[in-house]
Amino acid sequence: MGKRDLVRYGIQNEHSHIRVHVCPRARRVYVYPTIRGIEAIESGKHRRVYGTQSGVSFATSEGYLVPPFEIRECVSLSINPNVWRHMNFNESDDTSTKGGKAESMIVQMLKRGMLPIPAIGENIADADMQISGCDIYIKPNALRKQEIVIQVKCDYPGGESEYGGTGNLFLQIAECNPLRKH
């Protein structure tokens, strides 16, 4: 088995612009700018907790429990029940399987235009462009870069309690990976 020491690895040092938490128990998906999640944990208002992996007797993660709507700009998405059945999430799946299913689900949602990506819309003032059918420019809101990087987390028990979740999202700040699962 691998090391027991938690390494600082999580939301505070990833290079994403957008975070997506796929929450199978609540059957919800939560989307927010990564910087807003960092602000939430830095506020000092949320409880720090430790988590474990199945088959491991020591802490394998550290993070904060944050209610989704205490993360500014967080959007909750209700997903068609057929999608959840098709993805066949199972709480007993290992970490790698859960993560792979979550990523596949989000890729499909992106292809279908079902994932809200924060952006800035600006009116086009040029009359000739408006006459030619161009009214609005869209620029990514996440640091105004060409590419938007998304971090997907399978937060199995997370999500609003009214939908069967814990009432929180888990915002990880440290981990160890003794079972070497990715």
Residue 16 lies in a domain: yes
pTM score, whole prediction: 0.85
Helix (H/G/I), strand (E/B), else coil: 25: coil
Question: How does residue 1 score in pLDDT terms, banded at 50, 70 and 90?
Answer: very low
Range of the domain at 66: 7-118+147-175
The answer on pLDDT for 5 being more than 90 is no
Does 132 reside within a domain?
no
**Rounded Cα gap, residues 49 and 37, in angstroms:** 16
110: its two tokens: 């992106």
- Examine residue 165 and state whether it is found in any structural domain, yes or no: yes
Tokens of 138: 């869209």
Is 180 within the bounds of a domain?
no
- Chain-centroid distance, C-alpha 180: 22
Task: Please report whether residue 169 resides in a domain.
Answer: yes
Summarize pLDDT for 120-131 with one digit per residue, the tens: 677 778 877 777
Read out DSSP for 103-126? Answer: HHHHHHHHHTT-S---EEEEE---
Structure tokens given for 33: 């700018």
Number of structural domains in the chain: 1
- What mean pLDDT is predicted for residues 10-34? 94
Q: What is the pLDDT of residues 46-96, one digit of tens each?
A: 999 998 877 777 888 899 999 999 999 999 999 999 999 999 999 999 888
Residue 1 belongs to some domain of the structure: no
36-50: pLDDT as tens digits: 999 999 999 999 999
Instruction: For residue 91, give the amino acid letter.
Output: E
3-state secondary structure of 69: helix
Rounded-to-integer distance, Cα 78 and Cα 102, Å:
15
